[in-house]
C-alpha cells in the first residue's frame, strides 16, 4: 500500500515529492532498527526521524539524505542506539529542497526492560493513548490469550485475541471517559484481572 507524502493542494496541483512504501521501527536487543522505502522521489532533500515518549513530545533523533529525484524503489535504514524505556513512537519527516515538509503515520515500539519477572506488566498505567502494552508470563506463549476490557459495572467494552508469537502485545481500548477500568487476561495458562486508569 502506497502512502503519499507531500503537497496535495488542488490549487497548485504539484506532484507529490514522496511515495512512501513503508516506514517501520523494530526493537532489536539494545537498539531500535528503523527502515523505510520509497517508490518515487521528486525534489526530496532529506529525511528526519522523530521520536516521542508517552508525552507525545516529538524530538528529531537522526537525519538522512534523500535521493533528490528517483523513479526506482529505494530503501533506507538507520538505528536509534539509545531508545527510550517503555513505549515510544517514531515518525518520518520528509523535507524537500524548498523547505516544505510532511510526516508519515507514527509507529510504536515497546522497549521491555523487565526480563526476569513472571508477572503481568501493563504500560503505561495511567494511560491516555487509546492503548496499553501488556507483557505476559513466558508460559502464555503456548496458548492463545484473550484480553477483555470492562467498566466498573461489569460491562465489556473491548476485546482482542493474541496468538503465541510473542509475550508482548498492544491492546487497543479506543476512546474512553477518564476513570478506572478492569482488564481481564485469560488463557489456558493464566486468568488475571488488572486495574487500568484512563486519564
Q: Do residues 194 and 180 make contact, with C-beta atoms less than 8 angstroms apart?
A: no
Of residues 37 and 134, more confidence is placed in 37
DSSP code of 110? Answer: E
User: According to the model, what pLDDT value does residue 29 have?
Assistant: 77
Of residues 142 and 105, more confidence is placed in 105
Query: Does residue 1 sit in helix, strand or coil?
Result: coil
User: According to the model, what pLDDT value does residue 120 have?
Assistant: 80
User: According to the model, what pLDDT value does residue 163 have?
Assistant: 76
User: According to the model, what pLDDT value does residue 17 have?
Assistant: 78
* CA atoms of 127 and 54, how far apart (whole Å): 9
Residue 71 CA, chain-centre distance (Å), reads 29
Q: Find the mean pLDDT for residues 45-55.
A: 91
Mean pLDDT, the chain, whole residue set = 84
Q: Of 90, 68, 69, which Cα lies nearest the Cα of 79?
A: 90
Please, what are the domains in the chain? 3-110 (2.60.40.10), 114-198 (2.60.40.3080)
Question: pLDDT digits over 52-105, tens only?
Answer: 987 789 999 999 999 999 999 999 999 999 998 878 899 999 999 999 999 999
Q: Do residues 158 and 164 make contact, with C-beta atoms less than 8 angstroms apart?
A: no
pLDDT band at 164 (very low <50, low <70, confident <90, very high): low
Q: Find the mean pLDDT for residues 156-183.
A: 87
pLDDT band at 108 (very low <50, low <70, confident <90, very high): confident
* CA atoms of 169 and 163, how far apart (whole Å): 10
Kindly report which listed range (6-20, 27-41, 156-170) carries the lowest average pLDDT score: 6-20
Amino acid at each position: 500500500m502506497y502512502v503519499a507524502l507531500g503537497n496535495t493542494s488542488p490549487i497548485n496541483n504539484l506532484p507529490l515529492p514522496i511515495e512512501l512504501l513503508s516506514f517501520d521501527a523494530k526493537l532489536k536487543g539494545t537498539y531500535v532498527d528503523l527502515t523505510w522505502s520509497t517508490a518515487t522521489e521528486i525534489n526530496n532533500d532529506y529525511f528526519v526521524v522523530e521520536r516521542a515518549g508517552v508525552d507525545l513530545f516529538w524530538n528529531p533523533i537522526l537525519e538522512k539524505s534523500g535521493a533528490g529525484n528517483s523513479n526506482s524503489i529505494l530503501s533506507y535504514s538507520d538505528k536509534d542506539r539509545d531508545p527510550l524505556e517503555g513505549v515510544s513512537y517514531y515518525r518520518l519527516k520528509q523535507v524537500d529542497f524548498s523547505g516544505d515538509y510532511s510526516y508519515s503515520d507514527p509507529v510504536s515500539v515497546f522497549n521491555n526492560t523487565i526480563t526476569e519477572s513472571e508477572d503481568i506488566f501493563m504500560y503505561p498505567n495511567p494511560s491516555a493513548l487509546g492503548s496499553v502494552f501488556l507483557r505476559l508470563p513466558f508460559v502464555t506463549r503456548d496458548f492463545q490469550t484473550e484480553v477483555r476490557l470492562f467498566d466498573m459495572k461489569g460491562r465489556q467494552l473491548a476485546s482482542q485475541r493474541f496468538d503465541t508469537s510473542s509475550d508482548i502485545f498492544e491492546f487497543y481500548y479506543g476512546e474512553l471517559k477518564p476513570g478506572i477500568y478492569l482488564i481481564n487476561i485469560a488463557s489456558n495458562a493464566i486468568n488475571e484481572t488488572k486495574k487500568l486508569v484512563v486519564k
